[in-house]
Amino acid sequence: MATQDKQTWFITGCSSGFGEQFVRQLRALGDNVVATGRNADTKLAHLKDTGATILDLDVTAPQAELNEKFQQAIDIYGGVDVLVNNAGYLQCGAVEELTKEEMERTLDVNFHGPINLTRAALPHFRSKGSQGKGLLIYMSSQSGFYGEPGGSAYCASKFALEGAVESLAKELAWLAPGIKPLLIQPGVFSTEVMNNINHVPHRVEFWRPLNDAARVRGAGNYRNEPGNAVDMIAKVIQIAKGIGIAEGKEIPLRVPFGSYCVGFLREKLREIRQTLDDWEEIARSADYPERQAPMPTFPG
């Protein structure tokens, strides 16, 4: 449903990039914004003149602390309408070189953080009417469906997020259809992310060419990104409000952004279709002929 009424947004990772754009554009529209980030007093100081409420928040904090921060936002504005899970961490390196701790750090920020904040938000959203009401936005990536060399940690975290949110969407459609999840899948956009890649040190000489190439690629993309972050966030806000480009449209679970992302998505779809064409008969031949598992069905 289209709405231009004032909304209250809770946004993570607001120090720069997409998060900062959400804050500035939403405040320009007159919406209430709770802008969060680590070391907020310094890293979010440049947003104070927007009139947004600034809260210090590390998305890897324990669940109780995330619950408390979300409740603080509710207490300030009387409620929250939209949660934007934007905070991210980009670790780059070959699988053999990455440590378990580095993989866990990436998963803690990119997967557990958004899911834990979802747990903080859902009780509030469910309380808003008989079927609940609220929007859960997840800033995913083309890396949520397309694996790349050197990107295993980041891709793993985004693949995990996509799977969890797809399941969540089906749970909510069954029992709380007024609460909507939305996965945004950007390609390479004009943010600081390419300047903030955490590259592994050269631990295994065999992988040095790959790591060197990853560094060159990141440096080459920085300040040369094909995607316009300002324009993209403006469109995401329109989708969230059901206005502009989203007027009269049924919004899907996933919305890709950028030609870079669309190209990878089409390539992945081509690969999947080719695999099905080549292997479907063999795949089906592994069934017991006399058995047929029922497809899951849910009321509603």
Residues noted as catalytic: 15, 140, 154, 158
Distance in angstroms (rounded) separating the CA atoms of residues 173 and 138: 17
Strand ranges in the chain using DSSP code E only, listed in sequence order: 8-11, 32-37, 53-56, 82-85, 91-92, 134-139, 179-186, 198-199, 254-257
Cα separation, 153 vs 68, whole angstroms: 29
* Phi, then psi, of 32 in degrees rounded to 5: -80, 140
Query: Is the CA virtual torsion 111, 220, 17, 196 positive or negative?
Result: positive
Return d(Cα 196, Cα 260) in angstroms, integer: 20
Give the chain's count of helices (H) and strands (E).
Answer: 9, 9
The DSSP output letter for 151 is B
Q: Which residues contact 152 (CB under 8 A, 6 or more apart)?
A: 93, 94, 95, 98, 103
DSSP state of 67: H
Q: Are strands 32-37 and 53-56 parallel, antiparallel or unpaired?
A: parallel
Residue 92 neighbours by CB under 8 Å, 6+ apart: 150, 151, 153, 154, 197, 198, 199, 200, 211, 214, 218
